[in-house]
Amino acid sequence: MPLAYLLRRVAFMIFVVWSAITLLFFLPRLSPINPVRERFAELQRSTGWAPRDLERLVKVYEVKFGLNKPLHEQYVDYMSSLLRGDLGYSIMRYPRTVGDLIAQALPWTIGLLSVTTLLTFGIGTGIGALAAWPRSPQWVKGLVTPLVVLAAIPPYLLGLLLIYFIAFRAKLLPMGGAYTLGRFTGPELSFPFLLDVARHAILPALSLILSTVGFWALGMRGMGVTVQGEDYVTFAEHKGLSLRRIFYAYYVRNAILPQVTALALAFGSIVSSGILVEYLYGFPGLGSLLNAAILANDFFVIYGIGLITILAVAVSMMVVDLLYPLLDPRIRYTRA
Amino acid sequence: MTLQESPVLRVRDLRVTYYTDAGRVTAVNGVSFDLAAGERLGLVGESGCGKSTLALALMRMIKPPGRIESGSAVVRTEHGEMDLLALDEESMRKARLSVISYIPQGAMNALNPVLRVGQQMLDALQAHAPHLSRAEMRARAEAALASVELPKDVFDRYPHELSGGMKQRVCIAIGILLSPRVIIADEPTSALDVVVQRQVMETLQRVQEQLGAALILIGHDMGLMAQVTHRVAVMYAGQFVEVSPVQAMFTQPLHPYTQALIQSLPRLDNRGVFRSLPGVAPSLLRLPSGCVFHPRCAQVMEVCRREPPPAVHTADARFVLCHLYGDDENVAPRATLTTSPQEVRR
């Protein structure tokens, strides 16, 4: 791989990340909600402070978080602390740092979403490939339609149905959370704990899988229909290759290329794609954290999670760009 | 009949029907012919006359809604005779490439763009000769590439890195990889420019002679047929209307359709004046009564509208399907032409 190409590609990625962070910095500031005031207003209602004391407290905290300075100075401050790797403090949950909150939530999200993303990719692509293959049995071809219908239902609605029927009525699985709170004081590395986590993860995973597998199947079937009519597939059959070999090396291998791009993008949006489902199931991942942060307009937590999302998308797109020539020899490294 | 004389391929009464929504279409309608080892048979006819369907039927690659209705295609190999149309699915898969091979019009899209050429050759060897070691397979593949005059490094190239002529040569190399008895080449040069066309054709002819395989060459190019083949079969609406040695076909075509085809060729002595054949090929859904060619025939007779023409085998080993020759043993065509093969050549 030419070094110049790699450098250009990395420079482009840095530019993308910087522009996204900048946009993200100004976006929550358009909201009239002052996170500091939000935090203390409730305290004031319950303790009955004088409004004057509240104003003073807000002032002190605004100075502490640097919110009293002009916006462009805050931007410079934020960017320079970012470069030092400092994500700042959460306003709502001061003195906890944003880095600390994210580190606690991230493993849950990555654990749930990476498994569901890989599963949906595998199942959906497999069904789509079989659906477009002329020798598949009829029932496999008919599988795509119900999956597409499921894909039209938003995952949180599907999640509600699953909670109602499987968790609430049938009581087969827990209704929410990541593990049984009474049984375990915190995450630990033991078999009963992992089993408990898996039981809690089934329903959120199922709502994510059922609501996205149709898209993968549809995409793969579309490519498969094109590829199975190509001359090289026919010629492979003329060569007397086994159907198995034709299926994998001359059909799936060619039809899967766009799916791989989509998979990388799905991995990039892993952080954000499960937000509603996580919230619905009370799953302690980034989605729940982001939801709480947005409600309170907790700038620095929003920035921190946004940064991770942006980085994940940008990095995975760069990885696809760099790996694609290995998958498709017709693509070469030329311009960034 | 000695072994030498017995044909390497014997096709009898081959019928292929497509069951379309508009009705039944018989694309190959009772075709019979013999092919000797080392013989090159040209197969010509208008688009839609059934020549590609015939080739696919011999490869047993007719897909639904098409169906092979009847017939036999017996190939003689060193292990005895086998009827391709009677083999089970797995035996037929093994017969492809090793007994009968098909060379597609490869310049465009016949090679998988994401696999190296070598891998596509190894796949074929893996499917038919799995007992070979990897090194032996590679040696066989490289020998096949060398025999079609391609450099060794083509083995490690991707198809998009090759020219159209090179890709066609790769297809030929794959087609001869397992020394088949019969090779079908379906318009192998139609996407190439004329210079490359001749080179590729010479290569195909040379490797076919080395193998001693029979070659069925499908195409529209009468000039090419005159240069390459021993015999030419003319197909019209799913039937062979004439099969003649190439010299006789051009000097004294028997069937009126063949005569019209020959007359439509550019010739040196009447520059710019080509005779074209009036009308279009009939829809296979509604074939004319009697002789299928009669609506376009210049020498149509009353009997042609009523009765299907007789199959006439002449004393000089020619075949024609026409009422003109039905009665007498000595074929005396009422219309003759004087085009010689030399004039037809480019």
Separation between Cα atoms, residue A141 and residue A134, nearest integer Å: 9
B285 Cβ partners below 8 Å, 6+ apart? B20, B22, B23, B24, B25
Q: Same structural domain for residues B286 and B320?
A: yes
Q: Same structural domain for residues B274 and B336?
A: yes
Count of domains for chain A: 1
pLDDT band at B2 (very low <50, low <70, confident <90, very high): very low
**Which pLDDT belongs to residue B342?**
41
**Which pLDDT belongs to residue A331?**
81
Specify whether the CB–CB gap between A204 and A112 falls below 8 A. Answer: yes
pLDDT at B231 over 80: yes
Identify any residues that bridge with B42 across adjacent strands, giving them in sequence order. B217, B232
- Report CA torsion sign: B306, B308, B313, B318: positive
Q: Same structural domain for residues B168 and B285?
A: no
Mean pLDDT, range A32-57, rounded to an integer: 78
**ipTM score over 0.90, yes or no:** no
More confident residue, A43 or A15: A15
**Inter-chain CB proximity A245 and B112 less than 8 Å:** no
Mean pLDDT, range B323-336, rounded to an integer: 58
B247 within domain boundaries: no
For residue A260, which of A327, A184, A314 has the smallest C-alpha distance? A327
Instruction: Give start and end residues of each alpha helix (H) in A172-247.
Output: 191-228, 231-238, 243-245
Q: What are phi and psi of B257, to 5 degrees?
A: -65, -45
**Which pLDDT belongs to residue B329?**
47
Mean pLDDT, range A31-55, rounded to an integer: 78
Specify whether the CB–CB gap between B183 and B9 falls below 8 A. Answer: no
A10 within domain boundaries: no
B328 within domain boundaries: yes
Q: Same structural domain for residues B196 and B282?
A: no
A212 within domain boundaries: yes
Q: Same structural domain for residues B222 and B262?
A: no
Last residue of a domain, one of B229, B264, B287: B229
pLDDT at A279 over 70: yes
Give residues 118 to 137 of A whose Cβ lies within 8 Å of B.
134
Give the structural domain span for B63.
9-229
- Report CA torsion sign: A163, A169, A170, A174: positive
pLDDT band at B338 (very low <50, low <70, confident <90, very high): very low
Identify any residues that bridge with B40 across adjacent strands, giving them in sequence order. B215
Specify whether the CB–CB gap between B188 and B220 falls below 8 A. Answer: no
**Which pLDDT belongs to residue A333?**
67
**Inter-chain CB proximity A239 and B109 less than 8 Å:** no
Identify any residues that bridge with B234 across adjacent strands, giving them in sequence order. B44, B242
Residue A85's region, left for phi above 0, alpha for psi from -120 to 50, else beta, is left
Report pLDDT digits (tens) over B126-184: 999 999 999 999 999 999 999 999 999 999 999 999 998 999 999 999 999 999 999 99
The CA-atom distances, in angstroms, between B303 and each of B291, B294, B295 are: 9, 10, 13
Q: Same structural domain for residues B206 and B258?
A: no
- Which residues of chain B lie closer than 8 angstroms to A249, CB-CB? 112, 115, 123
Structure tokens at A183: 């049984």
More confident residue, B65 or B344: B65
* Closest residue to A254, CB basis, from B106, B114, B174: B114
Report pLDDT digits (tens) over B36-50: 999 999 999 888 889
**Which pLDDT belongs to residue A193?**
87
Q: Which helix (H) or strand (E) holds A144?
A: helix A144-151
Report pLDDT digits (tens) over A181-221: 878 877 788 888 888 888 888 999 999 999 999 999 999 99
A250/B contact by beta carbon, under 8 A: yes
Count of domains for chain B: 2
Mean pLDDT, range A47-68, rounded to an integer: 81
Structure tokens at B63: 């897909």
The CATH number of the domain holding residue A307 is 1.10.3720.10
**Inter-chain CB proximity A239 and B124 less than 8 Å:** yes
Q: In angstroms, how far apart are the furthest CA atoms of chain A?
A: 88
Q: Same structural domain for residues B211 and B104?
A: yes
**Inter-chain CB proximity A236 and B123 less than 8 Å:** yes
A33 within domain boundaries: no
pLDDT band at B215 (very low <50, low <70, confident <90, very high): very high
Report pLDDT digits (tens) over A280-323: 888 899 988 998 898 888 889 999 999 998 998 888 888 888 88
A318 within domain boundaries: yes
Report pLDDT digits (tens) over B181-207: 999 999 888 878 888 888 889 999 999
B271 Cβ partners below 8 Å, 6+ apart? none
Mean pLDDT, range A18-36, rounded to an integer: 88
B339 within domain boundaries: yes
B240 within domain boundaries: no
Q: How many helices (H) does chain B have, and how many strands (E)? A: 12, 12
Specify whether the CB–CB gap between B100 and B181 falls below 8 A. Answer: yes
How crowded is residue B117: how many other Cβ atoms within 10 Å of its Cβ?
26
pLDDT at A234 over 80: yes
Q: Same structural domain for residues B59 and B104?
A: yes
B3 within domain boundaries: no
pLDDT at B1 over 60: no
Specify whether the CB–CB gap between B217 and B43 falls below 8 A. Answer: yes
Report pLDDT digits (tens) over A113-159: 999 999 999 999 999 999 999 989 999 989 999 999 998 988 888 88
**Which pLDDT belongs to residue B5?**
59
A330/B contact by beta carbon, under 8 A: yes
Looking at every residue in chain B, the average pLDDT score rounds to 87
pLDDT band at B330 (very low <50, low <70, confident <90, very high): very low
Q: Same structural domain for residues B323 and B272?
A: yes
**Which pLDDT belongs to residue B207?**
92
A254/B contact by beta carbon, under 8 A: yes
User: Which of the 8 DSSP states describes residue B25?
Assistant: E
A66 within domain boundaries: no
Specify whether the CB–CB gap between B185 and B204 falls below 8 A. Answer: yes
- Which residues of chain B lie closer than 8 angstroms to A257, CB-CB? 114
B147 within domain boundaries: yes
Q: Could you give the strand order of the β-sheet that contains B9-20, starting from the edge strand earlier in sequence?
A: B23-35, B9-20, B66-77, B80-83
pLDDT at B333 over 80: no
Give the structural domain span for A136.
98-327
pTM for the predicted model, two decimal places: 0.82
Report pLDDT digits (tens) over B74-105: 999 888 899 999 999 999 999 999 999 999 98
**Which pLDDT belongs to residue B125?**
95
Mean pLDDT, range A245-254, rounded to an integer: 95
Separation between Cα atoms, residue B263 and residue A64, nearest integer Å: 99
- Which residues of chain B lie closer than 8 angstroms to A234, CB-CB? 61, 104, 110
Separation between Cα atoms, residue B208 and residue B202, nearest integer Å: 10
A37 within domain boundaries: no
pLDDT band at A336 (very low <50, low <70, confident <90, very high): very low
How crowded is residue A248: how many other Cβ atoms within 10 Å of its Cβ?
12
**Which pLDDT belongs to residue B112?**
94
N-term to C-term CA, chain B: 39
Separation between Cα atoms, residue B93 and residue A244, nearest integer Å: 12
Q: Same structural domain for residues B28 and B123?
A: yes
* Closest residue to B174, CB basis, from A234, A239, A328: A239
pLDDT at B9 over 80: yes
**Which pLDDT belongs to residue B268?**
67
Q: Same structural domain for residues B64 and B141?
A: yes
B238 within domain boundaries: no
**Closest residue on chain A to B112 (Cα):** A232
Separation between Cα atoms, residue A165 and residue A142, nearest integer Å: 26
Mean pLDDT, range A238-265, rounded to an integer: 93
Mean pLDDT, range A84-101, rounded to an integer: 87
B65 within domain boundaries: yes
Q: Same structural domain for residues B225 and B170?
A: yes
Q: How far is B35 from chain A (nearest CA, A)?
A: 21
